[in-house]
Amino acid sequence: MDAVTYPNEEVVEFINNNVIPVRLASDAQPTAKNFNITWTPALLILDHHGIEHHRSVGFLEPIELIPSILLGIGKVYYDTNEFQEAINYFEQIVAKYPESDSTPEAVFLIGVSRYKIMHNPQPLKEAYEVLQRDYPQSSWTKKAYPYRLL
The pLDDT tens digits for 76-99 are 999 999 999 999 999 999 999 999
Alpha-carbon gap, residue 97 to 38, rounded angstroms: 29
User: Taking a C-beta distance cutoff of 8 angstroms, is the pair 135, 107 a contact?
Assistant: yes
pLDDT at 31: 85
User: Taking a C-beta distance cutoff of 8 angstroms, is the pair 144, 118 a contact?
Assistant: no
Please list, in sequence order, all residues whose beta carbon lies within 8 angstroms of the beta carbon of residue 117, skipping any fewer than 6 positions away: 83, 84
Q: Does the N-terminal peptide bond of residue 62 adopt cis geometry, omega within 30 degrees of 0?
A: no
Please give the single-letter amino acid code of residue 10.
E
Domains defined for the chain, CATH in brackets: 9-149 (1.25.40.10)
pLDDT at 67: 97
Of the candidate ranges 28-32, 121-125, 126-130, the one whose mean pLDDT is the lowest: 28-32
The SS3 call for residue 73 is helix
pLDDT at 2: 64
Q: In 3D, which of 149, 115, 150, 147 has the Cα closest to residue 131?
A: 147
Q: What is the mean pLDDT of residues 48-69?
A: 94
**Residue 31: CB atoms within 10 Å:** 13
- Percentage with pLDDT > 90 across the chain: 77
The pLDDT tens digits for 13-32 are 999 999 988 888 878 889 88
Local structure of residue 58 (DSSP, 8 states): S
Q: Is the model's pLDDT at 1 over the cut of 60? A: no
Alpha-carbon gap, residue 89 to 61, rounded angstroms: 20
How many residues comprise the chain? 150
Q: Report the chain's mean pLDDT, rounded to a whole number.
A: 93
pLDDT band of residue 71 (cuts 50, 70, 90) is very high
Distances 39 to 4, 74, 116, 146 between C-alpha atoms, Å: 19, 24, 35, 34
* pTM as predicted: 0.91
Q: What is the mean pLDDT of residues 62-81?
A: 97
